[in-house]
């Protein structure tokens, strides 16, 4: 059963709030967004060196415009938007007043995964709409595309 993290005040247990506390406690001069970007880029690089394919997904708070920060970051990391490749006409994942208006949620994959037959999905249902302004996103990746694990 899911148990949320205890909060001292609303929003105090979000990942952003906890990272800000960590950076403050460690007296890091690095701004939060720059820190997150560095850590994720390091994870991607390290995983690739070990032979793993990269899949990064979530709420990027950035639309799929050619000049958006998420699009430019993904291009710099040689990642491809799996939802965009499976839904080339576009997709909407973020709702304002219950109406889909923008695409802020994305799944980025390495090129060897993007070149295959991926199936993307956006889930819209009353249960999600009741608790979030974002629709869950998913991409099905054929099992034969997953790199084997070896010791």
pLDDT tens digits, residue range 26-42?
Answer: 999 999 989 999 999 99
Residue whose structure tokens are 């708070």: 61
The answer, yes or no, to whether residue 10 has pLDDT greater than 70, is no
Who wins on pLDDT, 57 or 1? 57
Confidence of residue 139 (pLDDT cuts 50, 70, 90): very high
Predicted TM-score of the model (pTM): 0.80
Q: What is the pLDDT of residue 151?
A: 47
pLDDT of residue 76: 94
Share of the chain above pLDDT 90, in %: 40
Higher pLDDT, 4 or 119: 119
Q: CA–CA distance from 29 to each of 24, 25, 32, 34, 82 (Å)? A: 9, 11, 9, 10, 34
Nearest to 122 by CA among 81, 94, 88: 94
Give pLDDT tens digits for 59-116: 888 888 889 888 999 999 999 999 988 888 889 999 888 888 999 999 999 987 877 7
Helix (H) or strand (E) holding 82: helix 82-86
How many other C-beta atoms are found inside a 10 Å radius of the C-beta of residue 39?
A: 11
| pLDDT score for 79 | 94
């Amino acid at each position: 059963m899911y148990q949320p993290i205890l909060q001292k005040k609303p929003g105090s247990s979000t990942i952003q709030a906890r990272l800000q506390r960590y950076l403050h406690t460690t007296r890091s001069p690095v701004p939060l967004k720059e820190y997150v970007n560095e850590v994720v880029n390091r994870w991607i690089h390290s995983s690739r060196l070990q032979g793993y394919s990269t899949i990064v997904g979530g709420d990027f708070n950035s639309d799929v415009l050619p000049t958006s920060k998420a699009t430019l970051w993904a291009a710099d990391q040689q990642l491809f938007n799996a939802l965009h490749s499976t839904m080339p006409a576009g997709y909407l994942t973020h709702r304002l007043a219950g109406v889909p208006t923008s695409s802020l949620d994305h799944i980025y994959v390495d090129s060897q995964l993007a070149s295959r037959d991926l199936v993307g999905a956006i889930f819209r249902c009353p249960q999600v709409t009741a608790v979030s302004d974002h629709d869950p996103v998913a991409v099905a990746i054929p099992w034969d595309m997953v790199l084997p694990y070896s010791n």
